[in-house]
Amino acid sequence: MPGAEKLGPDSLDGLVLVSNPAVTPDGRYILYTAARVSLATDSYESSILAVKVDSGEQIVLQSGPRDSCPVPSPDGRRYVFARKVEQRDRRGNKLPGIELRLASLDAPGASQLIARVEGIVSLSWSPDSRRLAAASPMGRPDEDVKEIETLPVWFNGKGFVYKTRIEPFIIDVDSGIMERIELGLNWLQVSDVAWSPDGKKIAISVAADMLRPYLLDVYVYDVENGEAHVVAQGLRGYGELAWSPDSKLLAYLGHRGERGFSSHQKIMLLNPETGGLECLTCSLDRNAVNTVNSDVRFRSCLKKLQWTIRGIYFLVSDSGRVILYRVQPGMEPEPVLDPGEAVVDEFSASRDGSIIAYTLMTPVDPKELYLYRGMEARRLTRHTEAWKRRYKLAQPRRFSFRASDGATVEGWVLPPPEGVEQRGWVLYIHGGPKTMWGYGFMHEFHVLSNAGYTVVYVNPRGSDGYSEDFADIRCRYGERDYMDLMEAVDYVVKQLGLPKSRAAVMGGSYGGFMTNWVIGHTSFFRAAVTMRGISNWISMYGTTDIGWYFVEDQLCCTPWRRSDLCWEKSPLRYADRIETPTLIIHSNEDYRCWLDQALQLYTALKLRGVETKLAIFPGENHDLSRSGKPRHRVKRLQLILDWLNKHIPGARNED
């Protein structure tokens, strides 16, 4: 019977993750990646497919199992893609690497090696389809003894990076010859490269200040004479670039840092001749990127903005939804594709903007490929239909309430599916904090729901999807954000009838920080699960990949300037108040929130006699719950269920 099975942790097996919808510039094909989660091989088996736009016919271009990121050439005949391979350092250790390969749309299965690289940060075709501008990391450290003189020492998902520079190159796709673009910098981390439509220039956004890597400069490189000059300095944000069709202007995705890391990403118009900069989306007061949380994504090489003859296309996060927008210089931004209670997760457009390929998801639908043409949307793939028919999936309900300071706070409640008895409920806190819950698909939520736990997820102050003022909690962590969450708890208990005595709290990253903060300030919850979290801002400052600048920006302190504030905002400061049984989950290669954060909290709780358990996942990083090895993801979910079931047993006497 369809939907007869409960969706448990191992239901990840066989789920297909659709990503990277890349339409050819002529609009004839849409290339994309489909990755099947396999518990048998403990991997994501990814292949590259194409859909013919006019007929809907599907073609397998590369059967994998480790192919992804197709990028079509401007002439629509060929594409490059990434093949994940294993390399070895000089001591014989296995290291991940990428083969950049070239293939023809007319010859499925065939491909030729262009280059072997450590990774791909950005790719941009030359308009004649003969060369690529690329940004790739170079100089991976492989010494036995690490002799370090730079920051950061390591980076999440990459390991040690103290010798690594992300450099710009030009690659001849037929010969494979790579030519480094010289910018005259001693240290550089390139964010993006963009080849101009007239073929004469390459725009490059790059961080050149090792101690302030969040500051970006924009260079324009003259392809003919090999000279590069700076056209903008000290910008911030994502740093993605797109040329205007006439090659005279640049669109820049980022901001000026008005609210530090709480600032919205904006579409900014940059004149390379004058250095003039104009914000095109400030009137929206919404973030011009997709920040909805989901655990069913796979790697993609698509840009976050694209400039066609119809304007600049980009995504906007708004109240849990993600909408495709367009803006023209001198005009107000306008929505192109509003999916309602859903998320446009990625997109690409044909050269004339008449065809848009995108992936879409809802709270009960993992990502699938769609086509938007002539004001009509059409679904092109059904990779997840068979998987969905096996399981019970409940539909979440939105709620909102007026906080004690008058602001409106939004959240959702996902109940157990029909026929599953409610055991208890979980307040699940997102990371960031500048991300949002909303209409993305969360496999983990459905695992909890199928186990009998209602999932309550809220966008407190600090979240994305609303105004910059709403998102800005700098210097005030643990204040209004904590109040919003606890007032949400009060709302769902009083208005929705959730039982006070059967509640748990959990979260990851900032959500882990807030879980730690919550249990240090209230004994309301029967159990807690804190993951990849923060317990001590002082040690976070000096041990992580972004700590020294993120902590100062968000907490307004350093270990030697207002260190009392760093300690006051650290959950470890309140560990002597914690009574809640706590499961701590961390990864040993999490360099965003290092393992010491878990160890300090675990030690404190053990010494105080609080029931606690520490689970450390080897070889995983900050992204365990989203892209970790499938068996580790299943184990993590089972640990969570076991902990909740132990501390919220049975479920008869509701109060």
Is 392-647 in the same CATH topology as 87-279?
no
pLDDT of 230 strictly over 60: yes
Report whether CATH 3.40.640.10 matches the domain 392-647.
Answer: no
pLDDT of the residue at 240: 99
pLDDT of 238 strictly over 50: yes
Residue-averaged pLDDT of the chain: 97
| Best CA proximity match to 257, nearest among 215, 303, 301, 208 | 215
pLDDT of the residue at 489: 99
What value does the mean pLDDT take over residues 463-468? Answer: 99
pLDDT of the residue at 3: 65
Each residue's pLDDT tens digit, 46-61? 999 999 999 999 999 9
DSSP characters over 521-565:
T----SEEEEES--S-HHHHHHHSSSHHHHHHHHHS--SSSSHHH
112 contacts 102 by C-beta, under 8 angstroms: yes
Under the banding of pLDDT at 50, 70 and 90, the label for residue 172 is very high
Alpha helices (H) in 295-400, listed in sequence order:
385-390
What value does the mean pLDDT take over residues 614-631? Answer: 99
Each residue's pLDDT tens digit, 366-408? 999 999 999 999 999 999 999 999 999 999 999 999 999 999 9
Read off the DSSP letter of residue 66: B
What value does the mean pLDDT take over residues 601-621? Answer: 99
How far is it, in rounded angstroms, from Cα 68 to Cα 33? 6
What value does the mean pLDDT take over residues 495-519? Answer: 98
What value does the mean pLDDT take over residues 479-488? Answer: 99
Each residue's pLDDT tens digit, 430-441? 999 999 999 999
Q: Which residues pair with 222 in a beta bridge?
A: 201
How far is it, in rounded angstroms, from Cα 509 to Cα 429? 9
How far is it, in rounded angstroms, from Cα 211 to Cα 25? 40
Q: Which amino acid belongs to residue 507?
A: G
pLDDT of the residue at 654: 45
Q: Which residues pair with 22 in a beta bridge?
A: 31
| DSSP-derived 3-state class of residue 386 | helix
Structural tokens at position 28:
């004839």
Each residue's pLDDT tens digit, 137-148? 999 888 899 999
363 contacts 440 by C-beta, under 8 angstroms: yes
Burial zone of 560 (CB within 10 Å; 0-12 exposed, 13-18 middle, 19+ buried): exposed
% of the chain residues with pLDDT over 70: 98
Is the model more confident about 652 or about 371? 371
pLDDT of 653 strictly over 90: no
pLDDT of 1 strictly over 70: no
The answer to whether the Cα torsion of 633, 639, 640, 641 is positive or negative is positive
pLDDT of the residue at 96: 80
pLDDT of 189 strictly over 70: yes
**Alpha-carbon distances of 473 from 186, 267, 279, 468, 469, rounded to whole Å:** 35, 23, 23, 10, 8
* Residue spans per domain, the chain: 87-279, 392-647
| DSSP-derived 3-state class of residue 643 | helix
**Alpha-carbon distances of 192 from 188, 383, 457, rounded to whole Å:** 12, 32, 34
pLDDT of the residue at 227: 98
pLDDT of the residue at 655: 47
What value does the mean pLDDT take over residues 289-306? Answer: 97
Element (H, E) at 12: none
% of the chain residues with pLDDT over 90: 95
**Alpha-carbon distances of 157 from 10, 96, 509, rounded to whole Å:** 24, 11, 15
Each residue's pLDDT tens digit, 79-106? 999 999 987 767 777 778 999 999 999 9
152 contacts 541 by C-beta, under 8 angstroms: no
Read off the DSSP letter of residue 173: T
Phi, psi of 511 (to 5 degrees): -65, -30
How far is it, in rounded angstroms, from Cα 630 to Cα 392? 21
DSSP characters over 603-648:
HHHHHTT--EEEEEETT--TTHHHHS-HHHHHHHHHHHHHHHHHHS
pLDDT of 270 strictly over 70: yes
The listed CATH number (1.25.40.340, 1.10.3110.10, 2.120.10.30, 2.30.30.240) that belongs to domain 87-279: 2.120.10.30
Say how far residue 404 (Cα) sits from the centre of its chain.
Answer: 32
608 contacts 578 by C-beta, under 8 angstroms: yes
The answer to whether the Cα torsion of 445, 402, 512, 299 is positive or negative is positive
How far is it, in rounded angstroms, from Cα 158 to Cα 263? 26
Residues in the chain: 655
Each residue's pLDDT tens digit, 114-135? 999 999 999 999 999 999 999 9
Read off the DSSP letter of residue 481: H
